[in-house]
Chains A and B, each alone.
Chain A
Amino acid sequence: MTPTLNLTINGVPQQIALDDPRATLLDLLRERIGLTGTKKGCDRGQCGACTVLIDGRRMNACLALALSYDGAEITTVEGLATGETLHPVQAAFIAHDGFQCGYCTPGQIMSAVGLIAEGEAGLDPERIREGMSGNLCRCAAYAGITEAVLEATREMTSATGERESA
């Protein structure tokens, strides 16, 4: 029997027939749904390139068995922008040169969105660096990434009127 998986991906409910139980959420997104924004770096939880939000929490899609997340809401980098308007984290990565080759970038951006939602790092650069340590960048764009996350945090917390904790 081919199990059917129900996932809401970037706001769109989808039914996916899964003939192989081995599919990770990463392979499902890239190979079956055609959303190739989410990247495969190590495929072992070590680099963060595959970071997506599962029910609002950042996780490594490469170590998430797709079947285990039946019913979940998934947000990928393709789901952040509203039409032509970039998400504040995306805009801040461009403004601060938060990348060079760009391979780690979708994972960095999704991780930053998750970090800001957690609300624990605030505007402390050290807490941001620590909170982003699950995302490696071979181009070492770390300085720009930290600046980008700082700016996006400012932008997003002042927009929602949340308390900023530095």
Chain B
Amino acid sequence: MNRFEYTRAETLGAAVGAEGAFLAGGTNLLDLMKIGVAAPDRLVDISHLPLDRIEESAGGLRIGAMVRNADIARDPQVLARYPALAEALLSGASAQLRNAATTGGNVMQATRCSYFQDPLSPCNRREPGSGCGALGGVTRTHAVLGWTEGCIAVHPSDMCVALAAYDAVVEITGPGGLREVAMEEFHPLPDAEGAGAPSLSPGEIITHIRLPDPGPLARHGRYVKLRERTSFAFAIVSAAAALAIEDGVITEARLALGGVAARPWRCRKAEEALKGALATAETFARASELATDGARPSGDNAAKIVLAQRIAARALERAAAGTPDRLPALPASVFAGDDNG
């Protein structure tokens, strides 16, 4: 790890516009510094900023950027109104990491792949213009939607997939003032050269994530995540689904995929097909085919397109059955064993 200067920001004013890298929970930044992929001259510690509350906001919730992932997942309001968000968080990383990881850090964790983490491989994201080491390599975790030859990595967050499904908004403060971006569009898609334009300008900081009133979506929300082992693994593919159902008819639908692109992937065509249809297995199967509309393999990973469809269908079926009173012992697992209720 390189040497760096350390400062602690006690106020938002002291953090905004500061030069250097922001340190929140440190679970991604320190990891990347240890392997030499990140080497900031200065760390500005924002983990003590008073942005650590979850508050009511216009019928929805406003989550401070320093709230720890574990605390969002056990918040009674989140569990009651945004259950797919709680389930997504609980399916991510480990209990220890969720106790440290912050909301802002989870959103801003690097879009990365194993070649990105190997300084001996070319990588446009790490070293613009060097090429993409993943092309033609081992690509089972790489993108099938929204990718270019510049970069085929996926954004690894589970939390962001559920946030995108619930129409969350990212609140940003920078030297130039405040701005907001929809979660769905916050992470840039790659361009021909590589990563695409960064989501934040230097000195900009995420202060909150705002969730609108979920209305009747609150009672039918689930997250399903396919992994190489049952727990403590990144998604191969995942899906967040939220439905409003009246007399067996879907009146509103949200579907987002994870592990397939450099951003959480909202499936608008599938949502349109769901709206007004009967909440049946056939409807969900049709919608999940539309969910991967435009998908193409970026390497030896065509299987991910089929897997994403199956996981989307599973998430919709579970959402339709209703959020259980208590999340299953194995959150988001395909082995959760609750498909009948």
What is the interface of chain A, defined by CB distance below 8 A to chain B?
Answer: 3, 20-22, 24, 43-45, 48, 51, 57-60, 63-65, 67-68, 70, 111, 114-115, 118, 120, 124, 126-127, 129-135
Contacts and interface: CB of A to CB of B under 8 A. Distances in A.
A21 B330 contact: no
B329 A127 contact: yes
B281 interface: no
A133 B94 contact: yes
Contact of B100 (A60, A67, A70): A60
Contact of A63 (B31, B35, B230): B31
B88 to A, nearest CB: 15
B95 A65 contact: no
B231 A59 contact: no
Interface in B88-105: 93-97, 99-100
A22 B34 CA distance: 10
B184 interface: no
Given A45-B97, A134-B93, 9 more contacts: A21-B4, A57-B70, A63-B100, A65-B45, A111-B95, A114-B95, A120-B74, A130-B329, A133-B95
Given A22-B1, A126-B330, A63 B74 contact: no
A124 B329 contact: yes
B194 interface: no
B27 interface: yes
A22 B31 contact: no
Contacts of A70: 8
A21 B99 contact: no
Nearest to B25: A63
Interface string B27-48: 1001100110000000101010
Contacts of A65: 6, 23, 26, 30, 43, 45
A134 B6 contact: no
Interface of B: 1, 3-6, 8, 23, 25-27, 30-31, 34-35, 43, 45, 47, 70, 74, 93-97, 99-100, 230-232, 329-331
Contact of A111 (B31, B96, B331): B96
B95 A45 contact: no
A43 B27 CA distance: 11
Question: Closest 7 A-B residue pairs measured CB to CB?
Answer: A134-B94, A133-B231, A126-B329, A21-B6, A133-B232, A57-B99, A127-B329
A63 B94 contact: no
A125 B119 CA distance: 41
Nearest to B2: A22
Given A21-B3, A130-B231, A58 B26 contact: no
Contacts of B96: 45, 48, 51, 58-60, 111, 114, 134
A64 B45 contact: no
Nearest to B333: A130
A126 B333 CA distance: 12
B331 to A, nearest CB: 7
B47 A45 contact: no
Nearest to A165: B326
19 contacts: A21-B6, A24-B30, A45-B94, A45-B97, A57-B70, A59-B97, A60-B27, A63-B25, A63-B27, A63-B100, A67-B8, A68-B45, A111-B95, A114-B95, A118-B95, A120-B74, A130-B329, A130-B330, A134-B95
A22 B329 CA distance: 38
A77 to B, nearest CB: 15
B34 A44 contact: yes
A51 B25 CA distance: 15
A141 B289 CA distance: 43
Contacts of B97: 45, 59-60, 63, 134
Nearest to A44: B31
